[in-house]
Amino acid sequence: MNRRVTAWAALWAAVAMTCLLAPSAWAQSSEAPAGAEAATTKATSQAASRPADKPIQGMYEEWLTKMRAGGQTMWALLALSVVGVMFALERIFMLRRGRIVPRGLAEQADRLWRQGKQDQLLALCRRNKSTLARVLAFVAEHRTAPVADISTAAGDIASRELRRHLLRAYPLAIVATLAPLLGLLGTVIGMIDAFDTVVMVGMGDATALAGGISKALITTMAGLTIAIPALFAYHLFKSRTSLFGVMLEEEVTELISAWRMGKED
């Protein structure tokens, strides 16, 4: 579990670093100096206004500048990214094998069943909060019922549990869908503002149009930066849930067959 949590922490740390470093790239791409002298003057003024020992503060200020330049859409995207991180962290800690099909539980249950210790088997399953434990507890409580009925009911219990895990990952898919759309909306709004500026100042000032378009594209980049890891996380959690479902089905089917072998007419 520690390796898995560490890997996920590294993934989201990389995403966070991307979000933090992106404003620097945006700042470089959105500002076009008129000439070498202007570039030198600007670099000198920036070096004087930003102390060398405070790079993080300067990066934070650039980030806030780009957030303001992106308008209200950027703040909506920021809220959406927070929601995505929250649900991703919840799935990291809750979607574990120990909560669905823990190692060793099937062997312990099988040993108690073969020894005829049904009460201890039920106590074991009730102490364990996994999906496999709930299914085995049901099988033990209804051990006199027909095998077909037990198998159907056990499958229903397992399916309900797995659907809950899938539904808890679904908000990540919503984040991955909404983020690029919000980014595109912000870009459209920014483009409208950019062309309104051109109408006011005229076509002679191309920097006004270029600056407006650059600011408009910030929201699209932010939306994609949020959507890509969210979509990756959703499909990863979905595939892990399916994998655990297959493992659960195999263990339950094997135990039911072994426990009820020869008990049916």
What is the total count of domains within the chain? 1
Out of 130-134, 177-181, 200-204, least confident range: 200-204
Q: Is residue 222 part of a domain?
A: yes
Q: What is the DSSP string of the chain?
A: -HHHHHHHHHHHHHHHHHHHHHHHHHHHHH---SSHHHHHHHHHHHHHHS-TT-HHHHHHHHHHHHHHHHTHHHHHHHHHHHHHHHHHHHHHHHS-HHHHS-TTHHHHHHHHHHTT-HHHHHHHHHH--SHHHHHHHHHHHTTTS-HHHHHHHHHHHHHHHHHHHHHHHHHHHHHHHHHHHHHHHHHHHHHHHHHHHHHHH-TT-HHHHHHHHHHHHHHHHHHHHHHHHHHHHHHHHHHHHHHHHHHHHHHHHHHHHHHSTTT--
What's the domain range around 218? Answer: 71-259
Say yes or no to pLDDT of 207 above 90.
Answer: no
Q: Is residue 120 part of a domain?
A: yes
Q: For position 63, what pLDDT does the model report?
A: 62
Question: 18-67, pLDDT tens digit by residue?
Answer: 444 444 444 444 444 444 344 444 444 444 445 444 576 676 676 667 66
Is the pTM for the entire model greater than 0.75? no
Low-confidence winner among 14-18, 182-186, 204-208, 214-218 (lowest mean pLDDT): 14-18
- 25 belongs to a structural domain: no
pLDDT band at 205 (very low <50, low <70, confident <90, very high): low
User: Looking at the domain assignment, is residue 33 inside a domain?
Assistant: no
Worst-scoring range by mean pLDDT, 47-61, 64-78, 135-149, 251-265?
47-61
Instruction: Report if residue 175 sits inside a domain.
Output: yes
